[in-house]
């Protein structure tokens, strides 16, 4: 039995699944078939264990009265990827550690990490931050890295190699005041595929992740045991057929494990919705509209994430 546990603050079972592979922009391409990633990931024991806990670490943070989202280009201060970093209002005037949400972009937002880094702002959470429509119940840092390499599977953030993301997480931990028990992961389309790669290839005990939410992406077909102690919630449009079917299959197989995963994975599907289900997912406008045959979309994604933490 792995020595990792996530602390949950109210009774709630987690989720996971989604689907796809390609896009990231408004001109939605057909979903290509995604080949399975096979890269193995080095593991290390970071000795994560459960403890009784509360929201006290979140309520102690100063309110986010309006933060800043800044571009950090590839190579600056040794960063392996160009990225956008949102730091909440009050971040620079205190010494406390903050939750962080890592957002992985769609395929059309790939670039060189420098001159085309602004593509990251075209969709999802970085776009919402730029438009000043991003609101969370508690302050959190948001890091949105741009994948620039031409390696592996072009349909997946990271090319199917989860070490790229893992090493980037290690990097940002050294550059920002991050609460190591509250590192969350999400991504849309191509970025969602990167999330699936991460949770199916990296062992819980060394992943740093407290909860993960792949959106509009191609559900992994293996690696169920790798993150069977991590909350997973997948979102996908039911008209995004390949992504929906693969996400549903992952959630079904993941939850059928014996022994059972620590948290049940969740799948929220949207009837009549195609590839772009991320707008309603990240904005929360889709709350209450998910197909009742699957898991309800009954709260903001970040509120669900805040329920979970890991102690390292």
Q: How many CB atoms lie within 10 A of CB 70?
A: 10
In a domain, 63, yes or no: yes
Give the pLDDT confidence score for residue 17 in this predicted structure. 35
pLDDT at 21 over 90: no
pLDDT at 253 over 50: yes
Give the pLDDT confidence score for residue 210 in this predicted structure. 95
In a domain, 14, yes or no: yes
Give the pLDDT confidence score for residue 205 in this predicted structure. 82
> Do residues 211 and 232 lie in contact, with contact meaning Cβ atoms separated by under 8 Å?
yes
Q: Classify 255 in phi/psi space as left (phi over 0), alpha (psi -120 to 50) or beta.
A: alpha
Token pair, residue 233, equals: 């919630």
Give the pLDDT confidence score for residue 49 in this predicted structure. 30
In a domain, 95, yes or no: yes
pLDDT above 90 covers what percent of the chain? 79
In a domain, 171, yes or no: yes
Q: Which domain holds residue 239?
A: 6-310
In a domain, 1, yes or no: no
Give the pLDDT confidence score for residue 204 in this predicted structure. 85
Token pair, residue 58, equals: 């979140």
Token pair, residue 270, equals: 């949207």
Looking up residue 291, the CATH number of its domain turns out to be 3.40.50.1820
pLDDT at 30 over 90: no
How many domains would you assign to the chain? 1
Q: Helices marked H in the chain — which ranges?
A: 56-59, 124-130, 163-175, 190-201, 241-255, 278-283, 301-306
* CB neighbour list of residue 135: distance below 8 Å, 6 or more residues apart: none
pLDDT at 32 over 60: no
Q: What is the mean pLDDT of the chain?
A: 87
Least confident among 27-36, 118-127, 278-287, 290-299: 27-36
Give the pLDDT confidence score for residue 29 in this predicted structure. 36
Token pair, residue 47, equals: 């000795």
pTM summary value: 0.87
Confidence of residue 47 (pLDDT cuts 50, 70, 90): very low
pLDDT, mean of residues 242-268: 96
């Amino acid at each position: 039995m792995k020595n990792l546990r996530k602390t949950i603050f109210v009774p709630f079972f987690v989720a996971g699944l989604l689907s796809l592979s390609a896009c990231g922009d408004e001109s939605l391409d057909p979903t290509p078939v995604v080949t399975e990633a096979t890269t193995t990931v080095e593991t290390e024991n970071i000795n994560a264990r459960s403890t009784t806990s509360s929201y006290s670490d979140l309520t102690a943070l100063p309110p986010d009265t309006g933060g800043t989202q800044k571009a950090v280009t590839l190579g600056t201060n040794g960063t392996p990827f160009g990225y956008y970093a949102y730091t909440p209002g009050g971040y620079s005037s205190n010494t406390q550690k903050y939750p962080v949400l890592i957002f992985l972009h769609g395929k059309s937002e790939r670039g060189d990490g420098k001159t085309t880094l602004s593509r990251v702002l075209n969709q999802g959470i970085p776009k919402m931050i730029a438009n000043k429509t991003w609101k969370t119940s508690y302050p959190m840092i948001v890091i949105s890295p741009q994948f620039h390499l031409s390696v592996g599977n072009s349909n997946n953030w990271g090319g199917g190699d989860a070490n790229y993301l893992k090493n980037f997480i290690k990097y940002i931990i050294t550059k920002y005041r991050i609460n190591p028990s509250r590192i969350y992961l999400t991504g849309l389309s191509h970025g969602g595929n990167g999330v699936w790669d991460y949770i199916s290839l990296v062992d819980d005990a060394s992943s740093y992740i407290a909860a993960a939410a792949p959106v509009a992406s191609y559900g992994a077909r293996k690696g169920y045991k790798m993150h069977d102690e991590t909350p997973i919630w997948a979102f996908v449009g039911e008209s995004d057929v390949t992504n929906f079917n693969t996400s549903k299959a992952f959630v079904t197989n993941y939850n059928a494990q014996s022994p059972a995963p620590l948290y049940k994975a969740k799948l929220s599907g949207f009837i009549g919705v195609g590839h772009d289900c991320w707008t309603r997912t990240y904005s929360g406008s889709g709350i209450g509209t998910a197909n009742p045959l699957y898991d309800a979309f009954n709260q903001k994604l970040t509120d669900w994430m805040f329920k979970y933490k890991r102690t390292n």
